[in-house]
Amino acid sequence: MNQLLFFSNNKNKIIEIKKIFNKFNLELLSLNDLNISEEPEESGQTFEENAKIKSDYGFNKTGIPCFADDSGICIESLNWKPGVLSKRFLNNFRNNEACFESIIKNTKKNSKQNAFFKTSISLTVKDNHNLIFNGKIEGKISEKAKGRFGFGYDPVFIPKNYNKTLAELTTKEKNDISHRSIAVTKLINFLIN
């Protein structure tokens, strides 16, 4: 296998994933490279199910081995939500800052700071055959949104054993510890062995 499709239209995610893949002799294609803009509905109840829906769709549409990820943040003060609805939850606010303020307020009110990010990757290499790779990073919600790197919830998440948010870390520092990078590394180890 020398070509692999990463099923995503998220520019930030594609940049992050391509940086991790750089070390390996694999041509990584994105939906943009193949002029595909439509995506299936993510109707799964879990990260794994949503990743599988997307990787199956990409493989069936192109015939190229395809992987997709589904990621999200789970916050203790919100009863471990938004989880698989992380993107929708963020989009329900007028902007990211309003969402972050709401999360921080909730966290302070409940005195529950714990949170974790999870990524599930599904790899489809033939019909109805998926391999799942998971990555998880524990941490807590910060007292205020900080940092200008990263994307999504990165400005309010402080990884365990760190005193900076993910958005204050460089891409390289983030890729050394992130939930996505853990899952992608498992995928790459599988592909090269």
Catalytic positions, please? 70
Q: What's the Cα-to-Cα distance from 21 to each of 4, 26, 50, 105, rounded to whole Å?
A: 11, 7, 22, 38
Burial environment of residue 55 by CB neighbours within 10 A (0 to 12, 13 to 18, 19 or more): buried
Q: How far apart are CA 131 and CA 121, in angstroms?
A: 8
Q: How far apart are CA 55 and CA 82, in angstroms?
A: 22
- CA 167, 94, 81, 88 dihedral sign is negative
Q: How far apart are CA 174 and CA 83, in angstroms?
A: 20
Using an 8 Å Cβ cutoff, are 20 and 184 in contact?
yes
